[in-house]
Structure formats: structure tokens, C-alpha cells
Amino acid sequence: MTLQVTMMLCDYGQVADGKLFINGGGWSVVDAQTPPIGIAMIVMVPWDRAMAPLELEITLVDEDGHPVVQGVEGARNPVRIDGRIEVQRPAAQPAGVPIDVPLVIGVPPLQLAPFGRYAWQLRIDGQAREDWRLAFSTRG
């Protein structure tokens, strides 16, 4: 089995007791000057991939797939979030059953172009898949 990921944009989310709690989830249009948002996700980690770190990278890209940069002139950087998870095998879970890992990534406000199309592109251990893209548009 390969890694499976389900992602959703939300106004706010948190993880508690191994579950996702999502407020204002499932939207795909936002103001060009975005409020703080959350990227909620469930990563289904195959049993044989547990006990080893997984490197996560989420990059904001434009409709052409180019990284979006923010900041003042001379200090512009790609909008990117890096992280690492290491999944433990739950004692009560049968061998071979994938392990679900709920995550919420907080994103600060951003200034994007109006009427643009963007996507958060997830990579895990350097691998990216088309279904690991979370697309959205901006209003004027």
C-alpha cells in the first residue's frame, strides 16, 4: 500500500484524541488578502512505513506550478511549510492495517493576486502526487 492523503482547506482546525475538528471547512475561494487558514489532512501511513520519519513539505504554487513568493524586495521567499512526522504503531491495531495520522497546518495571512488560481502542493519524502494538491481561487 502507498501513502494516501485527504486534504481540506478550513478556517480553523485542530487535532484532539486522534481526530480532526474542523471549522469552516471545504471552501475553495478566498479573498486575495487571505485571513489565517488551516490545511486539514489525514495521512494514511502503510503499516510497513511506520516507525520511520516522513518529511513533509507543502508549497504554495500558482496556476503554472511556480512557487509563490512573499516578502519585501530583497527578502522574498517561497511560501513553504516543512515538517516531519514519525508514526508509531498503535498497540491495539492489527498488523498490516494502515495508520491514520490527522494533521492541521496553520497558515498565516497572505497577500495574493486577485482572481488568481493557486494550490498547496504536498510532498512526502520528496514524492508528490496530483491528488496531493489542494487548489483554490482568489476573489478581487
Q: What confidence tens digit (pLDDT) does each residue in 58-109 have?
A: 999 999 999 999 987 777 899 999 999 999 988 888 989 999 999 999 999 9
Mean pLDDT of 14-40: 97
> For residue 53, how far is the Cα from the chain centroid?
17
CATH, residue 105 = 2.60.40.2550
Cα–Cα distance, 83 to 58 (Å, whole number)? 9
Residue numbers of the domain that contains 24:
4-139
CB 29 within 8 A of CB 112: no
Burial 35-66 (b: 16+ CB within 10 A, else e): eebbbbbbbbbebebbeeebebebbbbeeeee
**CB atoms inside a 10 Å sphere around CB 20:** 20
Residue-wise pLDDT tens digits, 124-140: 999 999 999 999 999 98
Residue-wise pLDDT tens digits, 15-25: 999 999 999 99
Please tell me whether residue 113 adopts helix, strand or coil conformation.
Answer: coil
Q: How many domains does the chain have?
A: 1
pTM given for the model = 0.91
**CB atoms inside a 10 Å sphere around CB 7:** 19
pLDDT above 80 for 26: yes
